[in-house]
Amino acid sequence: MLLEGQEDYQHRYDNISFKGKKPDENVILLLRRHWLVFVFRFLPFFLALIALIAFHVFGVRILSFVGLNFDMNWFYLVESFIAIFFWLPLFITWVNFYLDVWIVTNTRIVNIEQKALFSRHVSELKHNKIQDVTSEVQGVIPTLFSYGDVFIQTAGSKQRFVFKQISNPVNTRNIIMQLQKKAVLEEKREEGEIMRGKA
């Protein structure tokens, strides 16, 4: 039986696999930050790239114009260092953007966050432990492009799961709430069967 709003996702994630995935576990949602978030983070690097190209094209001419005599090898060395300091932060930004993943399966939520280049944090939450799910869209651009945050309140040691800047947060909230209700009903049914067995 498909959940409401799941029709678009039912075949998209059939081949998705991740560490610790159980044989009977089906991926319902695979979530990352909205692509526009990366575009905004990329803008400073784009401006830096334009400055680097301008430095390459006009740097020698400007230095020659002001009368400075220098070895071109030093100029290229400085330019190379600037390029390294440009590409490294861009690479780290891309890694953090791409490797932050939230996976919603039919039994649990897996939260994978890339904290730094060589640091990763993985946590999970069973659907029956969810107490409340809230979606939040703030600002003109997030509203126009339909992205925002989803907050999942739990009773466990980790009080809150946050899906940050994801697409269609309202639809994601609805699907998670349906999964939570289904898990709670299943848990009650199993408890009832145990009680009847003991009786």
The residue with greater pLDDT, 92 or 6, is 92
Q: Distance of CA 125 to CAs 69, 112, 158, Å?
A: 64, 12, 9
SS3 for 130? strand
Q: Distance of CA 73 to CAs 32, 65, 70, 98, 116, Å?
A: 43, 18, 9, 37, 35
Is residue 20 within 8 A of residue 105, CB to CB? The reply is no
Token pair listed for 129: 């432990």
**What digits encode the pLDDT tens for the residues 84-121?**
877 888 888 888 888 889 999 988 999 888 877 777 88
Predicted pLDDT of residue 181:
92
* 19: exposed, middle or buried (Cβ count in 10 Å: 0-12, 13-18, 19+): exposed
Give the Cα-Cα-Cα angle 41, 46, 51 (nearest 5 degrees): 140
From CA 132, how far away is CA 128, in angstroms rounded? Answer: 11
The residue with greater pLDDT, 51 or 158, is 51
Q: What percentage of residues in the chain have a pLDDT greater than 70?
A: 83
In the chain, where are the structural domains located?
27-34+104-198, 38-96
CATH architecture of the domain 27-34+104-198 equals Roll (2.30)
Taking the model in full, what pTM does it have? 0.74
The residue with greater pLDDT, 81 or 4, is 81
Which of 1-5, 41-45, 99-103, 167-171 shows the lowest mean pLDDT across its residues?
1-5
Reported in sequence order, the residue ranges of the chain that DSSP labels E, i.e. its strands, are 27-31, 101-105, 108-116, 119-126, 130-136, 147-154, 160-167
